């Protein structure tokens, strides 16, 4: 066993106190082929707040992803964070 944290764990630890998470999902970007289907399945329907952590390479897809989430959950507040520390999508939801 190692004491090293994954980059995703470090990101979430650094955000501790700034965001509230009830459910956290970490997904490699290569596994998502359809954003709409992914977010419809991954985000609980009663979600009030979403913190989306995207890799720097996804900065050009941010608008599309936010629109997809808004279409799925129009009432949810969406916060986005871009990082160069991970190549995974981290989805933190609060409901």
What was the pLDDT predicted at 16?
Answer: 67
What was the pLDDT predicted at 1?
Answer: 42
Q: Name every residue whose Cβ is closer than 8 Å to that of residue 95 and which is 6 or more positions away in sequence.
A: 22, 23, 44, 46, 47, 48, 49
Structure tokens at 26: 């970490």
What was the pLDDT predicted at 4?
Answer: 65
Distance CA 1, CA 4 (A): 9
Residue numbers in the chain where pLDDT is lower than 70: 1-4, 16-17
């Amino acid at each position: 066993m190692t004491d090293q944290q994954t980059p995703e764990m470090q990101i979430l630890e650094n955000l501790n106190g700034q965001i509230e998470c009830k459910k956290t999902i970490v997904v490699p970007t290569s596994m998502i082929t359809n954003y709409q289907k992914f977010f419809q399945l991954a985000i609980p329907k009663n979600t009030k707040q979403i913190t989306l952590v995207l890799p720097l390479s996804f900065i050009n897809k941010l608008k599309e992803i936010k629109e997809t989430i808004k279409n799925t959950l129009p009432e949810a507040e969406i916060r986005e964070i871009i990082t160069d520390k991970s190549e995974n999508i981290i989805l933190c939801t609060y409901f």
